[in-house]
Structure 1
Amino acid sequence: MSASGTQTPAAAASTGAPARHTLAVLVGSTREGRFAPVVGGWFARQAAARAHLDVDVIDLDTVRPYELRYGTPEFEEFAGRIAAADAFVVVTPEYNHSFPAPLKHAIDLLNPQWHAKPVGFVSYGGISGGLRAVEQLRLVFAELHAMTVRETVSFPLAWTLFDKNGEPHDPAPATKAADTLLDQLTWWALTLREGRAARPYGA
């Protein structure tokens, strides 16, 4: 264990468990009547079930990115939460073949905090399941020197797939997809964290 009580990568490797790290889940919709809390809440529960993950749910409806001003305590808190994360999952709907404007603004507020970190996606929408929004987000994060993982979790016609408790009617496929995404994110999060610790990332 480290001085802070966090398991070091070497100690984790000796036990076969991944080293503890932080996953930030960004809930990207702020629209009135949004379905994002259902999808985001479900995924956050999947992630929190993993003992090695500290899950930080960053709901943009609470953050209110358009109201953030550089240097204010609110801005510094948001920047600090992004900087502290080892990996990210962006929960996004698809609006007219793209993703929500508040999500783009929130991403654009920061730069080095995203560098050399992995990003995964959980998307939802109509028949496409939000995948067209994800493809555009990949371009945005590439510009920010972040590494997007291939696998995604996607919910087509999402409002038909969840029960009143926010759980999928058929949980097996969604859980399998989430597990695959979280496995890949863990590998990248630890690998890139070790790389950043060994040498500064040059952007």
Structure 2
Amino acid sequence: MRHNPRHASDDPALVRRLVAEHPWATIVSQHDGDLVASHYPVLLDPDHPLALLTHVGRPDETLHGFGQGAAVLVVVQGHHGYVSPSWYVPGASGAPTWNFTAAHLHGVPQVLDAEENLRVLTSLVAHFEQHVDDPLWLDQTWGAQAAQGTVGLRIPIDRFTLKVKMSQDKDETSVQNVVDALRRPGPYEHPALASDMERARRERVGLPTEKD
């Protein structure tokens, strides 16, 4: 991503929050002279400062060359949406733009053994089923069979680039106008992005967030 100090952050806590809130990731590697990308859910490893747990379906592990010591790029993206300069205060300069949060995470995947893979599969199911009215609790016998078609991964992140672009370069009135516009019904309605902007504004001025 193009570096912009106003939008950049080196805070691993913000990366962990992004992964927790948006656990659908793109895994990119270069293998046999080709670029390979796959899309999978990820969880944070609770036993590591910053590492991802996931699994891929076979034969993705062969396509990526996992287990051969090569690093991968994992892209995680938050809410994003279009911002019109017509929403700024009169006379404020600006071009059409896009607000977003995105992280580029780099690390070398570790291939898990069968026991760890089943544990990760069980954790993934439990995590995403927890808010279902009648949640599925993975039967371990069935899960062990299903896990045979997957390869579990732990990806310790050794470096990352995080960009939180939420109109930080605009005056407070324009920022509020953008938030209001994103909450209005219409083609650009995006209340979740508006909430991200409000949270970024609170954090920027040192106010507590809703979860503090």
TM category (shorter chain) comes to: under 0.3
The TM-score normalised by the length of structure 1 is 0.25
The TM-score normalised by the length of structure 2 is 0.24
- The structure with the greater share of residues assigned to strand is 2
Structure ID, larger Rg = 2
